[in-house]
A and B are shown apart, each in its own frame.
Chain A
Amino acid sequence: MTAIAITRMGDLFAVVMLSGIYSLLSAALFLVLDAPDVAFTEASVGAGISTLLFLATLKLVPRYDKKSRYKPGLALGVVVATGALLIYGTLDMPHFGKVDAPVHEHVAPRYLNDSLEEIGVPNFVTSVLASYRGFDTLGEVVVVFTAGIGVMSLLRISRQAKKDAKAKTPPDMQQQVILRVVAKIMIPLILIFALYVQFHGDYSPGGGFQAGVIFAAGIILYTMLFGLSTAQKVFKHKVLEILTAFGVFLYAGVGFVCLFMGGNFLDYDVLRHDPVHGQHLGILLIELGVGITVASVMILIFFKFTWRTVKHKYNQ
């Protein structure tokens, strides 16, 4: 329903807000479908960070959508035709919730039955993510890293422009006493929660990706309430850039250490004398790498968008 409302709205602000609600609803649905890790990620990413980024963009672009001059008939036709084909395609699919569906018969049983002895981590999602499919996850982290670099180069601002803007920027939201007090209580809790999610990811839903995003959300909240320059005193641009690369380096580095110690790439068994301990250490380290990269990329992206806004406002 929310999705349909989005198509009809002309006001982009409402569209963005609705998409945030939509994300939160999908997170709830993921939870119902027994995927707490995914729900966690969707709630913090979809409802948190992505809504914020869209809002930051809206400050830079016109708020209202222009009415299209074309008739939507053709588009609707294409969509309905595709839909009919897709529905026809689903007729051969296994039923919802069946135990004997083909998906459950290949690698999944092995993950569920053997991972406790091989990896020793109760959260199956973490052991698959960080160990069995560690190489895949490394790729994902590199994609996040690359996207971060892309945003940084697209929204680059010269140092001079930054200095000018900084001189003219008034302190943000100085008057919002209630928000500031509440945030002062909330932000440390958010950050501690992020660390908990990071290091307890082996035993409960969570891990580097979620922790990184939650941590970034805490910092972004801080930035919004106390101003960009205050936040950048704590999180220097240079440091963030280095941290972004450091996360990927840590991840790949663990892989290479495994290689030098006689195992395969990202085969943590060799890190310690006992394979299970090795796995624990390896998973801890690479999750840390993931967390660092994701958090610093998200913070950097938000800083870039905010700088752009500040520049537009005061540098004309």
Chain B
Amino acid sequence: MNVLGLYNYWIVVILMLIGFYIVIAHENLVKKLVGLAIFQTSVFFLYISIGKITGATAPIFDEKWQLYSNPLPHVLILTAIVVGIATTALGLSLVVRIQEAYGSIEENDIQIQDTQDQLECQLEAYGIQESLTTFDQDIDE
């Protein structure tokens, strides 16, 4: 009983870690955003579950009730959800632009293209007219 009373935090931790795992282990940017959303929801659960009191009711005044759950976390999370969707939308539009610029939303492909561009710029600066095909093959391996 002693430790089991903490189960709400464990659910939060598990959800948070699933989100965290998606963010670091996947290369697809849309999937990363979904992972971030899950991570975010886990924080929402943390706040709301802290505000809960056993035997209390929702924080709307009613004469029959004496005990209400804590309204403060509700306020914080309610605004956080709306702000969260606004920032997610911003992230998604960045993804759309990345797709247009690179033709891919996989982190790896983007990085390869970036290094290639960089090298080409450097080579041009040194006046070297070599073709980069050998380098491309190196990367593909």
A interface residue numbers (CB < 8 A to B)? 3-4, 6-7, 12, 15-16, 19, 22-23, 26, 29-30, 33-38, 41-42, 45-46, 49-50, 53-54, 56-58, 60-62, 65-66, 68-70, 72, 75-76, 78-80, 82-83, 86-87, 90-91, 93, 95-99, 101, 103-104, 107-108, 111-112, 116, 122-125, 128-129, 133, 136-137, 140, 143-144, 147-148, 150-151, 154-155, 203-205, 207, 209-210, 212-213, 294, 297-298, 301, 304-305, 308
Assembly CA distance A34 to B47 (angstroms): 12
- Taking a contact as CB atoms under 8 Å apart, the answer to whether B75 and A154 are in contact is no
- Residue from B17, B61, B106 in contact with A122 in the complex, judged by beta carbons closer than 8 Å: B61
Chain B residue at minimal CB-CB distance from A152: B93
Residues of A within 8 A of B94 (CB): 154
- How far is B72's CA from A112's CA once the two chains are assembled, in angstroms? 10
Q: List 7 A-B contacts (CB under 8 A).
A: A15-B30, A35-B51, A66-B28, A96-B7, A97-B54, A111-B71, A125-B60
Residues in A with CB closer than 8 Å to B9 are 87, 90, 93, 96
The answer to whether B58 touches A205 (Cβ under 8 A) is: yes
| C-alpha gap A141/B48 in the complex (Å) | 21
Do residues A38 and B30 form an inter-chain contact, with CB atoms below 8 A? no
CA distance A127 to B67 in the complex (A): 17
Residue among B19, B28, B96, B108 making CB contact with A69, cutoff 8 Å = B108
Q: How many residues on B have C-beta within 8 angstroms of the other chain's C-beta atoms?
A: 82
B87 touching A147, Cβ below 8 Å:
yes
Q: What CA separation (Å) do A200 and B57 show in the bound complex?
A: 20
Contact B69 A53 (CB under 8 A): no
Please, how many angstroms separate the alpha-carbon atoms of A103 and B76 in the complex? 13
Chain B proximity of A78: nearest CB distance (Å): 7
The docked-state distance in angstroms from the alpha carbon of A57 to that of B72 is 34
Interface residues of B in 51-74 (CB under 8 A from A): 51-62, 67-74
Assess the B92–A38 pair: CB atoms within 8 A: no
Q: Which B residues are CB-close (under 8 A) to A93?
A: 6, 9
Contact, CB under 8 Å: B37 / A19: yes
- Tell whether A98 pairs with B18 under 8 Å between CB atoms, given A155-B93, A209-B82: no
Residue in A closest to B52 when the chains form the complex, CB atoms = A33
Contact A4 B18 (CB under 8 A): yes
Q: Are A45 and B82 in contact (CB-based, < 8 A)?
A: yes
Q: Is the CB of B44 within 8 A of A42?
A: yes
Contact B89 A151 (CB under 8 A): yes
**CB-CB under 8 A for A103 and B93, given A79-B21, A297-B86:** no
Listed from nearest, the 5 A-B pairs whose CB atoms lie closest are A95-B5, A97-B54, A147-B86, A75-B25, A90-B9
Q: How far is the CA of A143 from the CA of B80 in the complex (A)?
A: 10
**B114 an interface residue at 8 Å Cβ cutoff?**
no
Cβ proximity bits B101-119 to A, threshold 8 Å, 1 near / 0 not: 0001110100000000000
Would you call B8 and A124 a contact (CB within 8 A)?
Answer: no
Residues from chain A with a CB closer than 8 A to the CB of B45 are 26, 29
- Distance, CA A112 to CA B79, complexed state (A): 20
B132 lies within 8 A of chain A by Cβ: no
Report yes or no: B71 in contact with A62, Cβ–Cβ below 8 A: no
- Separation of A75 and B35 alpha carbons in the complex (Å): 14
B10 near A147 with CB under 8 A, answer no
- B13 neighbours in A (Cβ, 8 Å): 83, 86-87, 90
User: What 14 new A-B contacts, CB under 8 Å, besides A125-B78, A294-B82?
Assistant: A6-B38, A34-B58, A49-B85, A90-B6, A93-B9, A97-B55, A99-B54, A101-B50, A124-B71, A129-B78, A150-B93, A207-B78, A209-B82, A298-B85
Given contacts A7-B21, A76-B25, A104-B70, contact A19 B75 (CB under 8 A): no
| A97 to B: closest C-beta gap in Å | 3
The answer to whether residues A34 and B50 also contact, given A123-B60, A204-B60 and a CB cut-off of 8 A, is no
Question: CB distance B71 to A150 under 8 Å?
Answer: no
Q: Considering the complex, give the chain A residue whose CB is closest to the CB of B84.
A: A45
Given contacts A35-B58, A87-B13, A111-B72, contact A96 B52 (CB under 8 A): yes
- Name the residue on B nearest A109 (C-beta): B70
Give the residue name and chain of the A residue nearest to B14 (CB): A83
B121 within 8 A of A: no
Is B123 interfacial (CB-CB < 8 Å)?
no
Inter-subunit contact B92/A6 (CB<8 Å)? no
